[in-house]
Each structure stands twice: as structure tokens, then as C-alpha cells.
Amino acid sequence: MIIVTNDEGAAGVEAAAASLREGKAALDAVQAGIEPVEADPAIRSVGRGGLPTMLGIVECDAAIMDGATRMTGAVGALRGYLHAIAAARLVMERLPHVMLAGEGAARFAGEMGLEAAEMLTGEARAAHASWVRKRGLDDLVNGVAHAPLTSLAWPMPTSRTGGTVIYLAMDRHGHLSAGASTSGWAYKYPGRLGDSPLIGAGIYADDRCGACGCTHTGEMTIRCGTARSVVLLMKGGARVAEACHEAAADLGDLRGGFLGPVVIHAIDRHGEPYALAVNAPASIDFWLWTHDLEQPQRQSCAQARATQGDES
């Protein structure tokens, strides 16, 4: 049994480990780990307390995947509900679809009886007001939703691209699961979806090969299909570390668009973990728990540099 989560997942790692100790499935452990993070208002990039869109509205994305069946569920731009990961799992279990977004996602969450919540905390509201006032856009603070926003999308500070919580789990039966949840980039353009709800970009799990979860610059991992790439490389015989580094090299070949750091977390089908921070400006940690560890352990990600830039 194993749990891998990034540093944002610290609030839930004990719950995820307890779930596996109790004999529950990897899917249950992933959800158990993510929900405390979504409910913690001190975490400014996931769930309640997450920093909002340019218009001051918190929009959450989440996805979950079952490695035994490769069934998946996801929600994007979900407003007004505490646990996006629960909504994603219910999409997987109750609908013929894989993803719901926007108003449809919120309608479904309500039909499923999920907990409605005011996701914008006072602290996040004040931070948003300060952000728009510094740019001379008091109309946004005053609720004018039709002010032009495109010019605010660039430049986007790299520091705003982190914060997704990802969980990878293997249960006692060797089944794998992956999940992710986020409120996305701080002050993103309304409706922006990153890699978290996109199966194959932000997460992927396949009992036959392994599981992967990505954080930080989702625009890049969408373009490369990074999570699925790592798993496919392991399917082709690469060791988990080799697969992560090969995927990092693929990210390094991107040209144009927004380029920034990416952190890749993976486990192979035998439960071997690896975490790789690509072009990260500083050291980045992750959390690891296995059945033979009494407590989860915080560990440092390996580091890699991948050449990036516009074509000359």
C-alpha cells in the first residue's frame, strides 16, 4: 500500500493512510486525502479559501480515476460546492459522462446532495480587492462583470500556477487511483480550466502500468498529455524515474505559450514512487506513506532542468 501526495496534500495524508489501513479501496483513500484540503480555508489554491477568478468568484476543478477499470470523473469551473472531488467521483459513478463543467456541474452537485458552501473567504475577498485596485480596476470590486479582462491575462506570474492537490494511491489489492483538486490560478480568466480535470494531462491511473499526477503549469501538461505519457512510458518498460525524466524532456521541447515549472508525481505498478520538479525555482517537497511506515514522511522531489523558450 502506498500514498503519494504533493505538499498541498499534507492536511489529508493521515486520513488517506488511515483509509488504506482500514482496508478501503485506493479510490476511497484518494478522496479521503483530498477532502480535508478542500475544506481548509488556509490553503489558498484548493477549495474553500482558494483565490478566485479575475471577477472574484472561486471556480474549482477536480478529477478522479480508477486504475482497475480506467473509469474517470471530472468537474470543471464548479461554483458553490465544498468538495469538487466528491462531485467528480459521482460523475464517474452516476453518469455516462466523464466531465461536467460550469452550471451543469453545479446543478449535478446539488442533485447529488453535496454540501453547498460560500467558497470565497473574507481573506480571499480582501486579497482580490487589493489585486484589482492595484491595477486601477475598481469597477471589478464594485461588481461590474463586463469590464475587459483580456489584458490582465498577461503577464501571469509563475508563482500563481502552483497549488493543485494531487493524490496517488495503491491499496492492498494492488489497485491504483489518482485524483486532483484545485481552485486554479489565482485571478485566472473566468472559465479557465487547467490540467486537473483533464484525464491524461493532470492525472492518469492504470493498474497495468502505474499512476501519475501533475501540478503547477497545467497549460503545459495539457499540451503534452503528461500524466498519460508517464504511464505509457512505464507500460513500454521504463522505470518510474526514467518515465518522469522522459516526460520532462517532452515538456522542455514546448515552444510558445505560457511556460513555467511542472512537478510530476508517479508510482509504478509495483508501488515504486518518484517525484520530479521540472524547472522549479526552489526545492519542492512531497509526502510519502507506505504500509511499513508508521507516519507519512516528507521528502524532496528530484530536480530537472528542461530547455524552454520561443523558437528563434
| pLDDT one-digit tens code per residue, 185-231 | 999 999 999 999 999 999 999 999 999 999 999 999 999 999 999 99
Catalytic residue ranges: 164
Q: Is the pTM of this model over 0.85?
A: yes
Q: In this predicted structure, which of 56-65, 162-171, 203-212, 226-235 has the lowest mean pLDDT?
A: 162-171
Residue appearing with cell numbers 532542468? 305
Check whether 19 has a pLDDT greater than 60.
yes
Distance CA 170, CA 268 (A): 10
Check: CB of residue 207 under 8 Å from CB of residue 67.
yes
Average pLDDT score over residue span 13-37: 98
For 137, half-sphere exposure in the C-beta direction (CA atoms, 13 angstrom radius) is 22
Alpha helices in 135-239 (DSSP H): 138-141, 218-224, 226-235
SS3 55: coil
The CA distance from 110 to 79, in Å, is 11
- Distance CA(277)–CA(305), nearest Å, equals 9
Alpha-helix runs per DSSP H in 112-238: 122-134, 138-141, 218-224, 226-235
Return the axis-axis angle of helices 84-94 and 102-111, rounded to nearest 10°. 80
CATH code that applies to domain 2-139+160-303: 3.60.20.30
